[in-house]
Amino acid sequence: MKALKFFPFLSFLLLPLFSLTLSAQEEMDETLQDSTGLPGDHFSLEAAIELFKKSDSPEDFEKRLNAENNDVNNLDLNEDGKIDYIRVEGRKDGDAHALVLQAVMGENEVQDVAVIEIEKQGDENAVLQIIGDENVYGEQVFAEPFEDEKAGNGRNKGPEAQRTPVRIIVNVWLWRPVRFMYAPGYRVWVSPWRWGVYPTWWRPWRPYPWGVFHVRVRPYRAHCHIVNVHRVHRAHAVYAPHRRHSTVVHTRTTTVVKARGPHGGKVAAKRTTTTTKSRNGRVQETKTTTVGKKGRNGTAGARKTTTTNKPRGRRN
């Protein structure tokens, strides 16, 4: 009898532990699903936008990018076991600005990780996007800041009309670094640092495991998101002729994309098998369809269909 009375009490104690285990497993599953296996997994575009917003200038932005506790850069493109230094190089043409985020990989080798593009669209209006380089992300990835504005759908004028959030494009004109870059007398920032010559305050650290880094950058997604639209064309034209890339990174990324499907999606993400039988119950055909996971911008994953025909038996 005592054992029977003790069992409910033991279950009560173990239930929270079981719930925590399930929660941790679900979080790990989500992490694995979000991983593309590409270098871009280790640099957060959303975090870069948020750090830029908090910076005083492009120079200050570069310093923040390379601070370990800011959780934006986890890249080791030259695979030397240490984090790559990210330098910032500005380009300007009229009221169009481009800030190139460049990984220093060797004495004569660099790779553009992303570019922040800014255009002035009015007296006190500017738009900003960051574009992840295709060598790092497998394709160009666009991200931008957003704000939530509650709005109705026009048909419902009751309380429900005010509960539908609408993401709107942010006017970045009042951001400190933007005002700094558009101020009279601004000189385009070009980082003085290069391979083997770094600021005294910087010390490279070992890259964190993907699962750890993935969790750390989640808070940055609260006000920035990936989009399918490229809005900043004039600034991109300023940057494009000067894009720099590494053959090593290009080859590595191309290999991953070929092995895992477009956009780094895992080929074996979802498998469906259909079996066709004859009237006498024998299997005539088995069709297996494998669909890869969706890409970063929501595009469909790779689809592969395999059909196996069973040989018919000899008639007597």
Rounded to the nearest integer, the mean pLDDT of the chain is: 81
Higher pLDDT, 147 or 81: 81
Spatial contact of 13 and 223, defined as CB atoms under 8 Å apart: no
Quote the tokens at residue 4. 């029977």
Cα–Cα distance measured from residue 278 to residue 285, given in angstroms and rounded to the nearest whole number? 9
Average pLDDT on 114-126 reads: 95
Cα–Cα distance measured from residue 124 to residue 220, given in angstroms and rounded to the nearest whole number? 26
Angle, alpha carbons 204-208-210 (nearest 5°): 140
pLDDT of residue 29: 44
Q: What is the residue type of 218? A: R
In the predicted model, is pLDDT for residue 274 greater than 70? no
Q: Which residues contact 183 (CB under 8 A, 6 or more apart)?
A: none
pLDDT of residue 299: 47
pLDDT of residue 281: 59
pTM higher than the cut 0.75: no
pLDDT of residue 49: 98
Helices (H) and strands (E) counted in the chain, each on its own, are 8, 10
Nearest to 145 by CA among 218, 40, 50: 50
Average pLDDT on 166-182 reads: 95
